[in-house]
Chain A
């Protein structure tokens, strides 16, 4: 019996430099506002290689040893699962260079939640900052947490 399902597999990375965090201001997209860099995992690449590639493409920085620290996922109407693999990186090199995705700049970690965050980024940031939270799973409307993952339903 095949246990295969349809998945859209993506990544997102919180790049940190002391108290600062690298943000991307996505302008003119369907999902606009402040986010972290990221994108799709391509066939034939490891998920770690995919996040290193996406961050380099969108910011000009080459990150080292990104660490997987959470998942954001939800089921879509067509039955597929959208998965965002959440990473953190503290080591990087290169010069900050924006891409067509949007402007990239360093923001104070303490000021993050007050910025014009893209939809659902507030909870994503909470998962990334809290070592005890592993997953942000969306179903539909209200919100409960059991401490190990957020379930928005």
Chain B
């Protein structure tokens, strides 16, 4: 019996430099605002490899040793699962260069809550910062609202 499911697999990465983190002011109308760089995992690449590639494409930086720190999961309307893998690193090199996804810049971690954050970013921050939290699980309720649980 096949246990295969349809899924969308993506990544997001926090690059830390002291008290600053690298953010991207996203232009995507589906999810606009200040967020962390990331993107989809391509078939045939490792998830870690996809994080390194996406960060390079969106920021110009080469990161080393990104470590997994959590996952955000939800079920799409078509029944497919969305798996968003969260990584962090403080090792990077190269020159900062924005892509067409949005302007990238360093921001103080403390200043983030007062910025124009993309949806759910406050919860993403907790997933990154709190070691005992592994998952941000989003469930659609009856009536259309969404319940978001940190596990």
Contacts and interface: CB of A to CB of B under 8 A. Distances in A.
Interface of A: 3-9, 40, 43-44, 46-49, 65-71, 73, 75, 79-81, 83, 85, 87, 131-132, 134-135, 137, 146-149, 151
Contacts of B44: 75
B75 A44 contact: yes
Given A46-B73, A79-B43, A134-B87, A69 B5 contact: no
A43 B47 contact: no
Contact of B66 (A49, A67, A79, A134): A134
B151 A48 contact: yes
Chain B: interface size category: 35 or more
A148 B135 CA distance: 21
Interface string B88-105: 000000000000000000
Contact of B151 (A3, A46, A71, A135): A46
Closest 3 pairs between A and B when the two form their complex, measured CB to CB: A137-B46, A68-B134, A46-B137
Given A9-B81, A69-B68, A134-B66, A46 B149 contact: yes
B48 A148 contact: yes
B8 A4 contact: yes
Nearest to B52: A148
Interface of B: 2-10, 40, 43-44, 46-49, 64-68, 70-71, 73, 75, 79-81, 83, 85, 87, 131-132, 134-135, 137, 149, 151
B137 A81 contact: no
B68 A135 contact: yes
8 contacts: A46-B137, A67-B131, A67-B134, A70-B68, A85-B71, A148-B65, A148-B67, A149-B49
B97 to A, nearest CB: 23
B67 A7 contact: no
Contacts of B66: 134, 148
B90 to A, nearest CB: 12
Given A148-B66, A148-B67, A87 B43 contact: no
A44 B67 CA distance: 27
Contacts of B9: 5, 7, 81
Given A47-B71, A146-B64, 15 more contacts: A5-B43, A6-B6, A8-B5, A40-B3, A43-B79, A46-B149, A47-B134, A49-B151, A134-B48, A134-B67, A137-B49, A147-B65, A148-B64, A148-B67, A149-B46
B104 to A, nearest CB: 22
A67 B80 CA distance: 24
A47 B73 contact: yes
B82 to A, nearest CB: 9
B6 A48 contact: no
B18 to A, nearest CB: 20
A57 to B, nearest CB: 16
